[in-house]
């Protein structure tokens, strides 16, 4: 996805002051790619999608964004790998890209 396309997508979205989707129902994979680019992740790999999809399913079931521990346990991906895929605050970045809202306890 080009930077221009990502910017156009982001400009059309209703986001809060931190960049989280206000309406999770509007989320699409294309929106996820644009949000990822805005977070400095140029390409979403199969591992990224596994985490994003888990987070969306978990949030739908529980009504809350999954914690870092829930993500690692639910996906089998180590904390170290999660930090490599989503640097500097992976639970918050995953939640933002997955369109599920800010996790409780995140600053």
| Structural domain span for residue 53 | 3-98
pTM for the predicted model, two decimal places:
0.89
* Residue 106: inside a domain: no
* Residue 104: inside a domain: no
- pLDDT tens, 3-23? 777 677 778 888 898 889 988
* Residue 20: inside a domain: yes
43, 56, 106, 107: the active-site residue: 106
* Residue 105: inside a domain: no
Q: Annotate the chain with DSSP letters as a single string.
A: --HHHHHHHHHTS-B-TTS-BS-GGG--HHHHHHHHHHTT-----HHHHHHHHHHHHHHHHHSSPPPHHHHHHHH---HHHHHHHS-S-HHHHHHHHHTS-PPTT--
- pLDDT tens, 27-50? 999 999 999 999 999 999 999 999
* Residue 103: inside a domain: no
106 tagged catalytic = yes
Domain count, the chain: 1
**Mean pLDDT across 55-65:** 93
């Amino acid at each position: 996805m080009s930077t221009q396309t990502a910017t156009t997508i982001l400009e059309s979205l209703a986001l809060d002051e931190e960049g989280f989707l206000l309406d999770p129902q509007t989320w699409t994979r294309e929106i996820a790619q644009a949000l990822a680019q805005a977070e400095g992740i140029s390409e979403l790999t199969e591992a990224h999608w596994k985490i994003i999809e888990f987070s969306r399913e978990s949030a739908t079931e529980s009504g809350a964004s999954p914690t870092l521990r829930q993500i690692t346990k639910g996906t089998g991906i180590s904390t170290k790998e999660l930090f490599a895929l989503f640097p500097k605050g992976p639970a918050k970045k995953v939640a933002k890209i997955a369109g599920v809202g800010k996790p409780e306890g995140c600053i």
